[in-house]
Structure 1
Amino acid sequence: MEIEGTILRGHEFEPIEGRVVVEDGEIQAIEESATDAERIVLPAFVNAHTHIGDSIAKEAGGGLSLDELVAPPDGLKHRLLRAASHEELVAAMERTIEFMRAGGTGAFCEFREGGVEGVRAIEDALAGVPVEATVLGRESIEAMEVSQGFGASGARDADFEREREATREAAKLFGIHAGERDAADIDAAFALDPDFLVHMVYVEPPHLDRLESEGWPVVVCPRSNLVTGVGLPPIADLAAHTTVALGTDNAMLNSASMFREMEFTAKLTGLSAHEVLRMATINGAALLDTEVAIETGNAARLCVLDGDSHNLAGARDPVRAVVRRAGVSDVERVVLPSTGSDNS
């Protein structure tokens, strides 16, 4: 397969006019040459924090507080999840996964409610889909054992010491929500030595210093934080101290569109388009121990945009156009390594 256009190469997204050659799911060559093709070829997105089981209840709970919406065990989403059948959960998650794939997402990290049964449900939803999922079980050590790790709700809910130790012994990923409602649970989350933290809306200067010294990455979900009324994370401050990735969080509250998350983040923070695109691709991939950069020898995880769409035609800066203007309707095709071919 050969794809011509402007290729955003490497970790710095250097715009290369030419073509990328893909064979057997791998990038075989990136060749500079004159081309009339108007495509923009960028790395597939990595959605670093999702709760897609909540797809059964999109836009439910308007006007409720964060605790009323999602606090375990009796927040609205947990009641709705318990009431849903396995088949209903799988069908709803399948549609969100397909929406993510069609919108250029090649990998995501899911905090999966429902214990072992919840993990099995998302495995069924992922069957035959070329999107790479890192599923972190919740609610039990057994759920961690059948998934890729453990996703803790937050240190205010439990101490999670047993779960952390079991996850460490299993050499799996441990992530935890922290600093979403206030700063009170951040130090307790730090004490667990997590592989990464989610939200960190109420991070304070000593926490920033600790993040930098320990190297703990943070996943921010600014649209979700806005919707739930908890405030907005200091993304620029976080990015100055540690690796920051983007996630769309709860499918009940937000579409799983990385385009929307990037645009919101860029316009909210004033961070450069390159920095925001890195948060949506390279940084999330590093957190999940994978690679999405467009480089020879890497697996082909590509999102190809129609640069001549009504929305993108005339754009002078391809990276800025991707981050601040592009949307799902501009996606021409998505190439992922499990098939090594066009997955559009």
Structure 2
Amino acid sequence: MTGPRTFEGTVLVGRGFEPIEGRVVVEDGVVTAVEEAPTGSTDLILPGFVNAHTHIGDSIAKEAGGGLSLDELVAPPDGLKHRLLRDATREETVGAMRRSLRFMAETGTVAHVEFREGGVEGVEAIREAGADIPVESVVLGRGSVAAMEHPDADGFGASGARDGDFDAERNATRREGKLFGIHAGERDADDVNAAMDLDPDHLVHMVHPEPVHLDRLADAGTPVVVCPRSNLVTGVGVPPLRELLDRTTVALGTDNVMLNSPSMFREMEFAAKLTDATATEVLRMATVDGAELAGLDCGLVEEGRPAELLVLDGDSDNLAGARDPVRAVVRRADGADVKRVVR
């Protein structure tokens, strides 16, 4: 048991991130009070980020493969990423993943959803990498049903319907009560219907949905994870964020560390400036919507919620003078503004 801790400043409260001047009281890892009161503090207090789609195994190969196409970079089984992962030692892969997880922890990410290559060994490797780092890894194994059934796996992450038949993996996740996510609509719309026919717990990318797919999303309520920076790097386009948000829950992910840093600050800025999503919508995508997609209880500053909070220095040279705290967090803040991550 620990005594109460108090954090003061501008607090972004609830699902609407209403800014209030006040304090957040934390005891035994839980928010026990959110109180409106004058404090004089310039800190900004918000929920920690949930990165809803990552591949951190390729942390061994940051910025490799410049100029290659999407398939040349990441398509299984012989895309550049997969060749480099096969050639790396376990020690190299675990060490590189530890560095990415540390970076995530230092920049306000409290949890992430990982599509984990390497079968059973890959699941075990990420658990080893993150053993003492305060970031919760929701691990979706890949490569086999056995990877999904491993006690350290939370589900299965499918590469995409064009890469094979995933009925066995989908049925296995249902039996185990685990998550099933699948890439869809990344380079074109050809694999979207087949992916949705699997009734996944979430879809990743959806850069190229057609009207029939948007209707199916609205009817099924299937959540979507978008990764705008990755889509730009691989040249497949920008997801139609407004159309997706109008139909279903949308979360935000950073995708491959090979292509982009796992910074939710950067991902939010790109999402906000490339599309007509509001700052509040983008912050929700980076926090509670990702948390709920992953079955987690974090992502909001509310009484009774786990105390997984981010405190930013609102008087930093970067943020001082900001008139709209939500826009400042989404469009301007970065890792240098982080004062502490509360867990």
Tell me if both proteins adopt one fold, taking TM over 0.5 as the criterion: yes
Q: Given the alignment, which residue of 309, 324, 327 partners 1:302?
A: 309
Instruction: Percent identity, please.
Output: 69
Q: Look up the equivalent residue of 1:85 and give its one-letter code.
A: T
Identify the residue that residue 79 of structure 2 maps to in structure 1: 75
Gaps (5+ residues) in structure 1? 337-344
1:32 to 27, 30, 36: 36
Mapped to 1, the partners of 2:314 and 2:245 lie a distance apart of: 29
Match of 2:113 in 1: 109
The answer as to 2:19 corresponding to 1:11 is no
**Superposed displacement of residue 226, structure 1:** 0.4
1:135 maps to amino acid? V
> Deviation at 1:132?
1.1
Aligned to 2:333: 326
CA displacement 1:265-305 (0-9 Å, x = unmatched): 10111221101100100110110111221111111010100
Q: Alignment partner for residue 289 of structure 1, among 291, 295, 298?
A: 295
Hey, what does 2:125 align to over in structure 1? 121
Pairwise CA distance, 1:30: 1.0
In 2, Cα distance between the equivalents of 1:62 and 1:129? 31
Superposition CA RMSD, Å: 0.6
Residue 135 of structure 2 aligns with which residue?
131
Tell me how far apart the structure 1 counterparts of residues 236 and 281 of structure 2 sit (CA, whole Å). 24
Pairwise CA distance, 1:129: 1.5
Does the residue aligned with 2:300 lie in a helix, a strand or coil? coil
Match of residue 321, structure 2, among 296, 314, 320? 314
1:172 alignment partner, one of 170, 178, 184: 178
Distance 1:213 1:222 in 2: 24
Q: Which residue of 1 aligns with 2:188?
A: 182
Q: 1:204 aligns with which of 210, 231, 236?
A: 210
- Find the aligned partners of 1:24 and 1:87 in 2 and give their Cα distance: 35
1:260 counterpart (266, 272, 284): 266
Deviation for aligned residue 1:14: 1.1
Q: Which secondary structure state, in structure 2, belongs to the residue aligned with residue 190 of structure 1?
A: helix
- Residue 320 of structure 2 aligns with an amino acid whose one-letter code is A
> Structure 2: which amino acid aligns with 1:272?
T
Runs (4+) of structure 1 moved beyond 2 Å? none
| 1:222-279 deviation line (CA, Å, top 9, x unaligned) | 1000000111110111011100000000000001000000001101112211011001
How far apart, in 2, do the equivalents of 1:262 and 1:190 lie?
26
The letter for the 1-side match of 2:139 is V
SS in 2 for 1:156: helix
Amino acid at match of 2:149: E
Relative to the length of structure 1, the TM-score reads 0.97
Q: Please tell me whether the aligned partners of residues 241 and 276 of structure 2 are also in contact (alpha carbons under 8 angstroms).
A: no
Q: SS in structure 1 opposite 2:341?
A: strand
Letter in 2 for 1:202: H
Matched residues in 1 for 2:322 and 2:330: separation?
Answer: 12
Q: Find the aligned partners of 2:103 and 2:237 in 1 and give their Cα distance.
A: 27
Deviation per CA, 1:151-204: give whole Å up to 9, x if none: 000000001011110111111000000011111111110111100000011101
Give the Cα–Cα distance (whole angstroms) in 1 for the partners of residues 301 and 119 of structure 2: 36
Task: Give ranges in structure 2 of 5+ residues lacking alignment.
Answer: none
1:58-108: CA deviations, max 9, x gaps? Answer: 000001001100010000000000111111111000010011111100110
2:231 maps to what in 1? 225
Alpha-carbon separation, structure 1, partners of 2:225 and 2:241: 10
Give the CA deviation at 1:23.
0.9
Structure-2 separation of matches of 1:81 and 1:55 = 10
Deviations 1:8-34 (A, max 9, x none): 011111111111011111101111111
- Cα distance in 2 between the residues matched to 1:154 and 1:164: 12
- For the residue of structure 2 that corresponds to 1:30, the secondary structure is strand
